[in-house]
C-alpha cells in the first residue's frame, strides 16, 4: 500500500514519511524512532545530538547566498497517537502503518495515520537531505512525547539552540498561521471499592461505539459524542429504573482523543426490559447526534455472569459523580472570536475488580481558568472519595501578533495564493509555549498542511495541501530576515 504513497509528489517528502511510518513511535515509546532519526542525521554527516530525554537536534549550515540570514529552528514531534478501530487487527509495536491513497487524501487502514506530526518530520528530513533547496542555517528540533505530556519540550534545556525564529510544523489547516495555543493538565481520580456477589442470573455486555471521536482540543467545539458520558447516562438510567448491577466499565483510550467506544458488563433480572431500553436509547442518540455521530450504535450481547459486582450504593454514587464532571467546552474566549478558551475531555474510565480510574485532560489558554476547571473536577472526584492526582501540566502560548515572522508569512501567503491567511490561536496544545520558557526572545509561528481526524482512525492528510505547504515553507525560508 505504501508504494502508492511513495509515488506522490514531492516524492522525497512522501518517501521520508513512508520510512517514518514503518517505525513504531508511540508516545513514551520512541526509542526506535529516536535511533532512526539519529542515524539519519549522522548518515548525512550533519552535527546530530540526542539530549537526556531523547529530543534529537540536527544542525545544517546555510546554503550559498543565505549565510547572512537569521538561523531558524524547524520543529516537529516524533511521536504519534496509536489508535485503531475496535475491529482492526493491528499491532502498533511491531507493524508499520498501512497507508493508501484515496483521491486527494492519504489515509491509513483502520488506524491513525501519523500525519500528526509525521508530515512535519518528513518535511524537515527532506530539507536536511537536500543539496538544492535554499535555506538559512537550520537547527532541526525533533521532540518526543508531545502527545501525552510534552515532556520533550518541557525537558529541553536552554542554550542548545541559537536560532532567532522557530517554524513549528504542527498546524492542521493549510490556511492558518497559529501564533498561540492552550495549555493543559491531566487530572485523574482513582480509588477502590468493595466487591459483592451478584443477585441476578443473567449478564450482558453493553457497548456504545461508532462515534466520530477526534482530537480533544481541535475538535472539542464540534459537539461530538463522548462515549464515556453516554455510557454513564445509560447506566445511571438502568440502575435507577431496572435495578441492574454493574460489574465493569471500560471506555475511551487516550487523554487527547475524544472517546469513541465504551463497554460495560452488567447483571440483570429482566432481559426484555433491557432490550427495550437499549433500543430506545440508541434511537435517542441517533436523533441527538445525527449530524456529528451518524454511525453511533448501542448494543448488548450475552456474557459470562461475573463473580462480583459493585455494591449498588457505590455504583450510584460513582455514576452521579461522573455525571457532574464537565466535558466539552467550558468557556469560549471573549477576545478571540470562535476560540475555545477552556475545555475538558473525560477521556478514560476503567472500573473493574475492585478499583476505578477516571481520567481527564483539561485545556485552557488562561492558566487561572485551567486551575478553575481542575478544581471543579477535583471537587466532584472528592465526593467519591477518590485520590486525585494531576500531572503533565504545560503552559499556554501567548500570541505575539506583532512579531516580524507573522507579518512576513502573512504577506507571503497572500502573494503566493491570492488569499488571506487566518492568523489565530488554537485550542490544541503546541510545544511553542513550552519551548518559549527557555527561549523567550525567539519568534515562533506554527503552520502545516490540512490534516483531518487527527488522533482517530479517520485521520487523513490532503495531498494537494502538502504540495501547497511545501511550496510555502520553501518560499518562507527565502524571506527570513538578515541577522541584525
Q: In the beta sheet, which residues pair with residue 352?
A: 355
- pLDDT reported for residue 466: 98
- pLDDT reported for residue 392: 85
DSSP 195-259: EE---SSEEEEEEEE-----BTTTTGGG----HHHHHHHHHHHHHHHT--EEEEEEEE--TTB--
Out of 79, 293, 431, 459, pick the active-site residue: 79
- Coil, strand or helix: which one is 483? coil
Strands (E), 333-410: 340-352, 355-364, 387-394
For 277, phi and psi rounded to 5 degrees? Answer: -65, -45
Known catalytic residue: 431?
no
- CATH, range 2-182+396-478: 3.40.630.10
Out of 145, 146, 173, 176, pick the active-site residue: 146
CB-CB contact of 358 with 325 (8 Å): yes
**Identical fold, 2-182+396-478 and 185-394:** no
- pLDDT reported for residue 1: 56
Residue 370 neighbours by CB distance under 10 Å: 25
For 94, phi and psi rounded to 5 degrees? Answer: -125, -20
* CA neighbor of 191 nearest in space, from 314, 312, 309, 307: 314
Q: Which residues contact 195 (CB under 8 A, 6 or more apart)?
A: 308, 309, 310, 353, 354
The arrangement of strands across the sheet holding 138-143 comes to 48-50, 56-60, 138-143, 72-77, 165-168, 443-446, 176-181, 422-426
* CA neighbor of 252 nearest in space, from 226, 289, 223, 217: 226
Is 0.95 surpassed by the pTM of this model?
no
Q: Would you call 54 exposed, middle or buried from its count of C-beta atoms within 10 A (0-12, 13-18, 19+)? A: buried
* CA neighbor of 149 nearest in space, from 23, 26, 22, 17: 26
DSSP 408-448: HHHHHHHHHHSS--EEEEESS--THHHHHHH-TT-EEEE--
Residues in the chain, pLDDT under 70? 1
According to the CATH classification, is domain 185-394 in 3.30.70.360?
yes
CB-CB contact of 186 with 149 (8 Å): yes
Hey, what's the cell of 128?
536536511
Q: How far apart are CA 274 and CA 268, in angstroms?
A: 8
Q: Tell me the domain boundaries of the chain.
A: 2-182+396-478, 185-394
CA atoms within 13 A on the CB side of 186: 18
- pLDDT reported for residue 243: 85
- pLDDT reported for residue 148: 85
Known catalytic residue: 146?
yes
Amino acid at each position: 500500500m505504501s508504494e502508492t504513497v511513495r509515488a506522490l509528489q514531492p516524492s522525497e517528502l512522501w518517501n521520508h514519511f513512508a520510512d517514518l511510518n514503518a517505525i513504531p513511535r508511540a508516545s513514551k515509546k520512541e526509542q526506535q524512532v529516536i535511533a532512526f532519526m539519529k542515524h539519519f542525521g549522522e548518515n548525512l554527516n550533519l552535527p546530530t545530538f540526542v539530549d537526556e530525554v531523547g529530543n534529537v537536534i540536527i544542525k545544517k549550515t546555510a546554503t550559498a547566498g543565505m549565510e547572512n540570514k537569521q538561523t531558524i529552528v524547524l520543529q516537529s514531534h516524533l511521536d504519534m497517537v496509536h489508535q485503531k478501530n475496535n475491529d482492526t487487527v493491528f499491532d502498533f509495536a511491531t507493524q508499520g502503518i498501512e497507508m493508501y491513497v484515496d483521491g486527494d487524501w492519504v489515509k491509513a487502514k483502520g488506524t491513525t495515520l501519523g500525519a500528526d506530526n509525521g508530515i512535519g518530520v518528513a518535511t524537515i528530513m527532506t530539507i536536511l537531505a537536500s543539496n538544492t533547496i535554499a535555506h538559512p542555517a537550520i537547527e532541526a528540533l525533533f521532540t518526543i512525547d508531545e502527545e501525552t505530556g510534552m515532556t520533550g519540550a518541557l525537558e529541553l534545556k536552554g542554550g542548545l539552540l541559537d536560532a532567532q525564529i522557530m517554524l513549528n510544523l504542527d498546524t492542521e489547516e493549510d490556511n492558518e498561521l497559529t501564533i498561540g495555543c492552550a495549555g493543559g493538565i491531566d487530572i485523574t481520580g482513582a480509588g477502590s471499592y468493595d466487591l459483592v456477589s451478584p443477585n441476578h442470573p443473567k449478564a450482558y455486555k453493553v457497548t456504545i461505539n461508532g462515534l466520530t471521536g477526534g482530537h480533544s482540543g481541535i475538535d472539542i467545539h464540534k459537539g461530538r459524542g463522548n462515549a464515556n458520558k453516554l455510557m454513564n447516562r445509560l447506566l445511571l438510567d438502568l440502575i435507577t429504573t431496572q435495578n441492574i448491577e454493574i460489574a465493569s466499565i471500560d471506555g475511551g483510550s487516550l487523554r487527547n482523543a475524544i472517546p469513541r467506544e465504551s463497554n460495560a458488563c452488567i447483571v440483570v433480572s429482566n432481559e426484555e426490559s433491557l432490550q427495550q431500553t437499549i433500543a430506545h436509547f440508541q434511537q435517542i442518540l441517533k436523533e441527538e447526534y445525527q449530524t456529528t455521530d451518524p454511525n453511533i450504535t448501542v448494543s448488548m450481547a450475552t456474557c459470562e455472569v461475573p463473580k462480583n459486582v459493585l455494591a449498588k450504593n457505590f455504583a450510584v454514587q460513582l455514576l452521579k459523580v461522573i455525571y457532574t464532571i464537565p466535558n466539552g467546552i467550558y468557556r469560549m474566549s471573549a477576545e478571540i472570536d470562535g476560540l475555545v478558551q477552556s475545555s475538558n475531555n473525560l477521556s478514560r474510565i476503567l472500573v473493574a475488580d475492585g478499583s476505578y480510574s477516571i481520567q481527564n485532560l483539561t485545556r485552557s489558554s488562561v492558566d487561572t481558568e485551567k486551575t478553575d476547571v481542575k478544581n471543579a473536577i477535583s471537587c466532584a472526584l472528592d465526593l467519591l472519595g477518590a485520590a486525585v492526582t494531576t500531572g503533565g501540566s504545560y503552559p499556554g502560548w501567548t500570541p505575539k501578533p506583532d512579531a516580524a515572522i507573522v507579518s512576513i508569512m502573512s504577506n507571503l501567503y497572500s502573494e503566493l495564493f491570492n488569499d488571506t491567511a487566518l492568523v489565530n490561536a488554537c485550542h490544541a496544545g503546541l510545544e511553542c509555549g513550552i519551548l518559549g520558557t527557555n527561549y523567550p526572545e525567539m519568534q515562533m509561528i506554527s503552520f502545516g498542511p490540512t490534516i483531518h481526524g487527527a488522533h482517530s482512525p479517520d485521520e487523513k492528510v490532503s495531498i494537494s495541501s502538502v504540495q501547497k505547504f511545501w511550496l510555502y515553507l520553501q518560499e518562507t525560508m527565502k524571506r527570513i530576515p538578515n541577522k541584525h
